[in-house]
Amino acid sequence: MNATERLKTQFEQALVTAFGSELAGTDPMLVPASNPKFGDYQSNIALALAKRLGQPPRAIAEQIIQHLDIPECQLPTVAGPGFINLALKPSYLETQLVAMQADFRLGVPLTKRPKRVVVDFSSPNIAKEMHVGHLRSTIIGDCLARILEFQGHDVLRLNHLGDWGTQFGMLIAYLREAHPEALTTSNALDLGDLVTLYRQAKQRFDQDETFQETARREVVKLQMGEPTTYQAWQLLCEQSRREFQRIYDLLEIHLVERGESFYNPLLPAVVEELERSGLLVEDQGAKCVFLEGFTNRQGEPQPLIIQKTDGGYNYATTDLAALRYRIQQDQADWIIYITDAGQANHFAQVFQVAQRARWIPDQVRVIHVSFGLVLGEGGRKLKTRSGDTIRLQELLDEAIARARADLETRLQEEGREETEQFKEHVAHVVGIGAVKYADLSQNRTSNYVFSYDKMLALQGNTAPYMIYAYVRVQGISRKGQINFEQLAQQTQIHLQKDVELVLAKHLLQLSEVLDQVATELLPNRLCQYLFELSQKFNQFYDRCPVLTVPEPLQTSRLALCDLTARTLKLGLSLLGIEVLDRM
């Protein structure tokens, strides 16, 4: 139980003691104070209860505080018409910080109710290059998986690759004519060439009925496992996987691949189960489920096609099979799908069908985590000058190159000499960290404008600013020859100045912030916490000498520095971002 939850419990007990058991379970409306002069927490419950209790709010507030026994806080006060203000005792903060310092998890407890969580993210398509559109799903999914894992949940990170369907029959049929060697030899073509050939195949498919029939025959061969077609499909998949893995390695992303092809054998059972449940209706030769709350242009119930007139299946069929498998075989308690907001309706429809078929038990939570677009400087979709979608590999390489150029400029200005290895490492950490942080620091439901200059800036809410705050602490360690690990064993903390108290209170909010992110699935909450931590630390650093003050104050301030660095390192690692000792 974190500090806020403890205070709320004590508040609820005071309400019952003061006014009787009928107020048991009443929300005390306790929130962080909007202004530090009012303390740390504020409640306006007295104003909310005035009509019900028939008393002036201030009188109610006075009665409540008479029954409030909160050892962590100074004596509660009543302000204005009846606001109750609470301020944490410095001695309480000092004790909590010492405990945090001694804990390798920095006071963040493991969850008491670990869940089996499936996080479905990234999900590129075979024979297509990963582009900037895959960036958000990959980064957001990895961050949420890291946080849930740190809390003690059992997380299965799934990459639902687009590796099955009509497009493969189309591509294989085209390659048999244009580049037959690509269907029998590994790496006969680059992935970029495959993408170009795929476009040509699609154009041919749309215009040539004879080619359409040839492509459909290849699909049937693939579905039946005909050896040459199946081998060709495997080669295409392997080639794409290698290209994807380069990006995943660059971003330090770990996934379990389970593509659409994995669920292909399970699709007939989906149809059978929906028929048995009475949900499936035949409409113009297709098997559908008519949806509640979704209508077509004529205002009639909209069907979700489960099996097409030709016997083929849709994405919805595959997603229903995947959902059933994750619940029945993976034993998931919570399934999180991370895709762009444009797929919101699709998932709402799939979830509705699964609910009505009673495939989702009451205790299982299924949620679509949506996100907005990555835009260019002009507020338009981020594309190359020729109008193509930007390849993700190129975007990441550019970020590293720009980080390297910024570093070279700084080193020249400072007259510093560094090794090539140092420059490469710093450029990689800063470049990749900047891209990730720029994305995660936005509310994921919004679009955001991609700007290398802003994301690589050493000032503002950026990864370099966070990393630099961490580097400052390492500089203190080097300058004072301080071993922070030994320091943790003998720490006593004394909070004397306001900036120390402000920093201490912020450090102790880490656990609550992670709980909030895990509940709301909004990584920007953690980014904002880390940004404010860096700001508060820099204010402390500027106003409170560390190495030039006598003991025990020196050790106390060193402990605050160490706790800040460890919190930044942990928080950034949960965002998938590394730190540096020097930069």
Contact 403, 456 (CB under 8 A): yes
Whether residues 232 and 271 share a domain: the answer is no
Task: Choose the final residue of a domain: 223, 258, 293.
Answer: 258
Note the pLDDT tens digit of each residue in 232-266. Answer: 899 889 888 988 999 999 999 999 999 999 999 99
Q: Which two tokens stand for residue 145?
A: 């998986």
**Confidence band, pLDDT 50/70/90 cuts, at residue 539:** very high
* Mean pLDDT for the stretch of residues 118-131: 93
* Cα separation values, 280 from 270, 315, 322, Å: 10, 16, 18
- What pLDDT, on the 0 to 100 scale, is given for residue 131? 87
Q: Which two tokens stand for residue 42?
A: 């504020």
Note the pLDDT tens digit of each residue in 159-195. Answer: 999 998 888 889 999 999 888 888 888 777 777 788 8
Whether residues 246 and 279 share a domain: the answer is no
Q: Which two tokens stand for residue 551?
A: 């003991």
Whether residues 284 and 319 share a domain: the answer is yes
Please provide the average confidence, as pLDDT, over all residues in the chain: 93
Residue 136 within a domain: no
Task: Choose the final residue of a domain: 350, 370, 390.
Answer: 370
* Mean pLDDT for the stretch of residues 209-237: 89
Spatial separation of the C-alpha atoms in residues 438 and 574, rounded to whole Å: 15
Residue 72 within a domain: yes
Tokens 């306006």 identify what position? 44
Spatial separation of the C-alpha atoms in residues 441 and 21, rounded to whole Å: 44
Phi and psi, residue 100, nearest 5°? -65, -40
- What pLDDT, on the 0 to 100 scale, is given for residue 162? 93
Contact 132, 390 (CB under 8 A): yes
Task: Choose the final residue of a domain: 349, 370, 391.
Answer: 370
Whether residues 252 and 268 share a domain: the answer is no
CATH of the domain at 286: 3.40.50.620
CB contact set of 558 (below 8 Å; sequence gap of 6+)? 476, 480, 482, 484, 487, 546
In the Cβ-directed half-sphere of 492, how many Cα atoms lie within 13 Å?
4
CATH of the domain at 54: 3.30.1360.70
Whether residues 203 and 293 share a domain: the answer is no
* Mean pLDDT for the stretch of residues 476-485: 91
Contact 41, 7 (CB under 8 A): yes
Whether residues 248 and 281 share a domain: the answer is no
> 270 versus 202: which is more confidently predicted?
270
**Backbone dihedral region for residue 438 (phi beyond 0: left; psi -120 to 50: alpha; all else: beta):** alpha
In the Cβ-directed half-sphere of 436, how many Cα atoms lie within 13 Å?
31
How many structural domains compose the chain?
Answer: 3
**Confidence band, pLDDT 50/70/90 cuts, at residue 385:** low
Domain, as residue range, for 333: 263-370
Number of residues assigned to the chain? 583
CB atoms closer than 10 angstroms to residue 489: 8
Tokens 């509940």 identify what position? 519
List of E strands, 405-486 = 448-449
Residue 214 within a domain: yes
Note the pLDDT tens digit of each residue in 555-569. Answer: 999 999 999 999 999
**Backbone dihedral region for residue 153 (phi beyond 0: left; psi -120 to 50: alpha; all else: beta):** beta
Whether residues 272 and 364 share a domain: the answer is yes
The residues with which 374 forms a beta bridge, in sequence order, are 448
Residue 272 within a domain: yes
Q: Identify which of 29-33, 163-167, 382-386, 475-479 has the greatest average pLDDT.
A: 475-479
* Mean pLDDT for the stretch of residues 451-460: 94
Whether residues 214 and 272 share a domain: the answer is no
Q: Which two tokens stand for residue 76?
A: 């509660």
* Cα separation values, 188 from 178, 180, 201, 574, Å: 12, 10, 18, 39
Whether residues 225 and 269 share a domain: the answer is no
Residue 481 within a domain: no
Q: Is residue 1 over pLDDT 70? A: no
> What SS3 string covers 262-296?
HHHHHHHHHHHHHHHHCCCEEECCEEEEEEEEEEC
Residue 34 within a domain: yes
Whether residues 201 and 286 share a domain: the answer is no
- What pLDDT, on the 0 to 100 scale, is given for residue 386? 61
Helix (H, G, I), strand (E, B) or coil at 460: coil
CB contact set of 92 (below 8 Å; sequence gap of 6+)? 71, 72, 73
Whether residues 176 and 231 share a domain: the answer is yes
- What pLDDT, on the 0 to 100 scale, is given for residue 149? 98
DSSP state letter for 35: S
Residue 537 within a domain: no
**Confidence band, pLDDT 50/70/90 cuts, at residue 220:** confident
The residues with which 335 forms a beta bridge, in sequence order, are 118, 366
Residue 57 within a domain: yes
Whether residues 299 and 201 share a domain: the answer is no
